[in-house]
Structure 1
Amino acid sequence: MNSKKALVVFSGGQDSTTCLFWAMKQFDEVEAVTFNYGQRHIEELQCAEEIAEELNIRHHILDMSLLNQLAPSALTRNDQEIIEKEGELPSTFVPGRNLLFFSFAGVLAKQIDAKHIITGVCETDFSGYPDCRDQFVKSLNVTLNLSMEESFVIHTPLMWLDKAETWELADQLKALDFVREKTLTCYNGVKGDGCGTCPACKLRGRGLQQYLNHREEGKRA
């Protein structure tokens, strides 16, 4: 495997785009993979394509529509309401999504001779998804290596960062304005700062404001 080549699991959102910039700093060669699983908004795929093209990143789009058929959720069905209740997985959870995504990313990484796989999952600011936890990622990393007799390394640069710290990382990578203006995180399909009212936009907006306030305080100190 090529120890200087990486594959980024890429949705066109804030986290995966920050990871894409991070990977471009860390590795000599970077490619990206996006999964079409019947997500609520086709704009997400278009956004990922546009970012990859602008950054001159080879971009793969894989058909994962079977996931929509097997595991309907508010993330894949417009007729399902986005609900978050204390102590329960939110209605946006798609069972098996990252299990399948990372597995297929591993298969693709083998084909393109990339040793490193990067994903923007995070255990700090997340909705309790079990497939975003560090324990799951480490377990799957071992399984992928056993299944293909390879030595993949799954990197999770955002695992222990909250949203404010993720914005800080984007700023350190000189990509804050790019990430803010050109990514799509909103559950309602609005690029940039989004709709401002869905859970994803509230989390993103709150983190951005916290970081900008912190940066401003640092300048005055």
Structure 2
Amino acid sequence: MSQKVVVIYSGGMDSYTVLNKAIRQGFEVYALSFDYGQRHVKELKVAASVCAELGISHKVVDISAINQLIGGSSLTDDIDVPEGHYEEESMKSTVVPNRNMILLSLAVGYAVSLKANKVFYGAHSGDHAIYPDCRPEFVKKMDDVCRIANYEEVEIVSPYLNNTKIEILTDGLSMGLDYSKTWTCYNGREKACGKCGACQERLEAFELNKAHDPLAYESN
């Protein structure tokens, strides 16, 4: 019997690559997505579609009530999403306070209930400067805590922690993944805006991999 693992799956290209990597490594994957009130809720529909196609377990959990306590992010509040390249100062407005600690804590609880001993998530080096909860020191300390928080030890796994989005895409393309089945844009419109930092970083990753981005953009 294969080992059960939980994958925090947003529907974006990083977590899509992590999800497929875990499947290819032979794990029995339980995908977990969160509705935290993000304006780009379209990513959850993309995630559900992918999991249905792959035939894997998928839960979408509504935790939007947390916005009564945390706010100030352009991803959840009525604040314009910044445009332009992924620069630290402009992109700080997209930080959702304590998001990954909350998501990881819930995912670990789910893992314990499943008798799974690993939780995967898609932190990577391109996010280190902007998102404190994607830094190696955060992942290390969360891993330490999650190994002792329950009777059962749960490991936090971030396979691309020291890789750039460019390198993540390189790996995904080598696996033959179809990135039309992902959503990256921070704006939740019909097409990707092509202007926000997330879109800019994605487009750059495809360009540097000399690959075509299959998503439709408003500027196309």
Alignment CA distance shift 1:204-1:88 (3 Å): closer
Question: What is aligned with 1:207?
Answer: 205
For 1:16-165, what aligned pairs fall within 5 Å after superposition? 16-72=15-71, 73-77=73-77, 79-83=78-82, 86-87=88-89, 90-126=92-128, 128-165=130-167
**One-letter amino acid of the counterpart of residue 193, structure 2:** C
In structure 2, what is the Cα distance between the partners aligned to 1:158 and 1:68?
A: 29
Alignment CA distance shift 1:145-1:42 (3 Å): same
**One-letter amino acid of the counterpart of residue 140, structure 2:** K
Is the partner of 1:91 in helix, strand or coil? helix
Structure 2: unaligned runs, 5 residues or longer? 212-220
Q: What is the deviation of 1:88?
A: 7.1
CA contact (8 A) 2:9 2:33 kept: yes
Q: What is the deviation of 1:41?
A: 2.8
Alignment CA distance shift 1:89-1:205 (3 Å): closer
Structure 1: unaligned runs, 5 residues or longer? 214-221
**One-letter amino acid of the counterpart of residue 161, structure 1:** N
Identity %: 37
**One-letter amino acid of the counterpart of residue 164, structure 2:** D
Q: Deviations over 1:1-34 (max 9, x none)?
A: x982211000000000000010001133111000
**One-letter amino acid of the counterpart of residue 163, structure 2:** L
Q: What is the deviation of 1:39?
A: 0.8
CA contact (8 A) 2:88 2:130 kept: no
CA contact (8 A) 1:122 1:161 kept: yes
Q: Deviations over 1:35-74 (max 9, x none)?
A: 1111113312211111111111100112211322222210
**One-letter amino acid of the counterpart of residue 152, structure 1:** V
In structure 2, what is the Cα distance between the partners aligned to 1:91 and 1:101?
A: 19
Alignment CA distance shift 1:42-1:85 (3 Å): closer
TM-score normalised by length of structure 2: 0.86
Match of 1:168 among 161, 165, 170: 170
Question: What is aligned with 2:215?
Answer: none
Alignment CA distance shift 1:137-1:204 (3 Å): same
Q: What is the deviation of 1:120?
A: 0.4
Alignment CA distance shift 1:134-1:120 (3 Å): same
Is the partner of 2:149 in helix, strand or coil? helix
Shift >6 Å, 4+ stretches: none
Moved more, 137-146 or 29-38: 137-146
Is the partner of 1:59 in helix, strand or coil? strand
Is the partner of 2:76 in helix, strand or coil? coil
CA RMSD after TM alignment: 2.1
In structure 2, what is the Cα distance between the partners aligned to 1:74 and 1:85?
A: 15
TM-score normalised by length of structure 1: 0.86
**One-letter amino acid of the counterpart of residue 25, structure 1:** R
Q: What number of residue pairs does the alignment pair up?
A: 207
**One-letter amino acid of the counterpart of residue 95, structure 2:** F
Q: What is the deviation of 1:82?
A: 2.2
